[in-house]
A and B are shown apart, each in its own frame.
Chain A
Amino acid sequence: MARAVTTQRKAINTLIAWIVGLLIFFPILWIFILSFHSEGDAIKSPLEVITSTWTFESYATVQERSNYFRHFWNSVVISVGSTVLGLIIAVPSAWAMAFVPGKRTKDVLMWMLSTKMLPPVGVLLPIYLICQNLGLLDTRIALVFILMMINLPIIIWMLYTYFREIPGEILEAARMDGASLREEVIYVLLPMAVPGIASTLLLNIILAWNEAFWTLTLTAAKAAPLTAFIASYSSPEGLFYAKLSAASIMAIAPILIMGWFSQKQLVRGLTFGAVK
């Protein structure tokens, strides 16, 4: 901003923005607080909750009672597995489309995006029955594959928008200076492509980690990732506020941190380059 803003004005802005920000963040803050209290204290009135003793016991009981880390590990395998597999398939495709564009490249890209518009519930039954027939219900393999397929268009698009920004002339320059193809790839292309690949990886792990249609409909006890495990807290009207909070905090913390790091790439990734 070119204009100077008075300190008084800035103080008012700061105050309002912080109040609004804290209000929006409050539910997360509140479960963070609840997770450090005993089950009996967690359902008391807000003031009593804060003044009661703080303890780690909920985190321990969540693991003891439900084998929490098995579900955590399922989430890791499914989200990282599907994303890495997707990248292996998408990097060559996006690369080719960005550097050797043909007449139909644009149509192919648009068609790929259109597959993302298919509502999952529209193909729920075929996928469910195929998994059932192949004995893949409640397995991680099925989810790795399905989540890879639903995120593949986003992965290709994100990579494409990043690769397209790498200037082709720089490759020619390297070639003129006598770089071999191998050197060209390792010293010139990779360093420029890595940031784009990294942010694509990050955003898609986030999306896969939070996916809650296929994970809820295709898993039971064995392969359930955290989305499905947490959903199991909804069935009994039993009040397990502290345990639910502890389980939730552990489920969202890694993704929250990754999300904050990738907030700049988020806009680009989620709008398919339509807003930068």
Chain B
Amino acid sequence: MATKASRTAARAMISPSVILLLGWMLIPLGLTIYFSLLRYNLLMPGARPFVGWENYEFFITNPAFTTALINTLLLVGGVLLITVIGGVLLALLLNLEMWGQGIVRILVIAPFFVMPTVSALVWKNMFMNPVNGLFGYLAKGLGLEPFDFLSQAPLASIIGIVSWQWLPFATLILLTAIQSLDSEQLEAAEMDGAGPFSRFFYITLPHLARAITVVVLIQTIFLLSIFAEIFVTTNGGPGNASTNLTFLIYKESLLSFDVGAGSAGGVIAIILANIVAIFLMRMIGKNLDA
């Protein structure tokens, strides 16, 4: 039904966003790649000679890089494990018949709306602080020694904080998916003598597979870029114990002002994120045809 005139109009309507996004993508990306090939430090003015792969070599052979890479994987993997399992259980719970379901739902999704700096600081001070935190009081009440979470188990503590923030997201999406499950199918299975566990593993879980994949992929994109939670709690420490790739690049870039190495790290981060992105894009693309 689209006429030639309407096609031209449509193109004119789409072009502003295409041009903006193209510029937003190509200019910084091009500069990052360009900088990554130069010896360029803001603290050392002067020539910026072309050095080829030197920055990549420097960044990758830095022992902090291996630590940061492992921490990134642990952080992403840990949070995914907790939020997906917790999310499935919570979604099953919230799907049951109860009084005040709407209110419970509101309570459960609330952490998602709390800004990262607030949730990290609240957990750090009000809960994990060994002297005045609630966990400290709880330990003392039970006659135990208070545990200094952020200095003794920094990465695990951050995994906990981030999981609290992302659990609502997983729950909400999985709940939406569970609600689209045909209850007659479950009833039929029950009449055929399937117990609650086999009903869950053979009907509910396969039905949720797609939603779980979406949760995993979208969360991974965001979790690879975790920054604020580390920035306000441990600042990457002690040592590099809680430094992830994002935070390492930030330190290299804006604390050491090493533009070359920071950019090389940036390119590595982009490649890693793209590996995940390809899978996510395929999932969403498939849905577009449906």
Which residues of chain A have a CB within 8 Å of any CB of chain B?
1-3, 5, 9-10, 13-14, 16-18, 20-22, 24-25, 27-28, 30-31, 34, 43, 45-46, 89-90, 92-93, 95-97, 99-102, 106, 108-110, 112-130, 149, 152-153, 156, 168, 206, 209-210, 212-213, 216-217, 226-228, 230-231, 233-234, 239, 241, 244-245, 248, 251-252, 255-256, 258-260, 263, 266-267, 270-276
Beta-carbon contact of A259 and B284 below 8 Å: no
Beta-carbon contact of A241 and B132 below 8 Å: yes
The answer to whether the Cβ of B21 comes within 8 Å of any Cβ in the partner chain is yes
Give complex CA distance A1, B172 in Å.
19
The 8 A-B pairs at the shortest CB distance, nearest first, are namely: A212-B228, A123-B28, A117-B277, A126-B31, A96-B10, A92-B13, A259-B113, A21-B107
The answer to whether the Cβ of B285 comes within 8 Å of any Cβ in the partner chain is yes
- Across the interface, A217 reaches (CB within 8 A) one of B104, B115, B250, namely B250
Beta-carbon contact of A123 and B32 below 8 Å: yes
Find chain A residues with CB under 8 A from B116 CB: 210, 212, 227
Which residue of chain B has its CB nearest to the CB of A30?
B126
Beta-carbon contact of A93 and B14 below 8 Å: yes
A to B CB contacts below 8 Å, 28 in the list? A13-B93, A14-B100, A20-B93, A24-B107, A24-B110, A30-B122, A31-B126, A45-B137, A89-B16, A113-B281, A119-B224, A119-B273, A121-B246, A121-B249, A121-B250, A122-B249, A124-B254, A125-B262, A125-B263, A128-B254, A152-B21, A153-B21, A227-B116, A239-B125, A248-B121, A252-B118, A271-B173, A274-B284
Which residues of chain B have a CB within 8 Å of any CB of chain A?
1-2, 6-7, 9-11, 13-14, 16-18, 20-21, 24-25, 27-29, 31-32, 35, 90, 93-94, 96-101, 103-119, 121-127, 132, 134, 137, 164, 167-169, 172-173, 176-177, 183-184, 187, 210-211, 214, 218, 221, 224-225, 227-228, 231-233, 245-246, 249-250, 253-254, 259, 262-263, 265-267, 269-270, 272-274, 276-277, 280-281, 283-285, 287-289
Find chain A residues with CB under 8 A from B99 CB: 10, 14
Beta-carbon contact of A275 and B253 below 8 Å: no
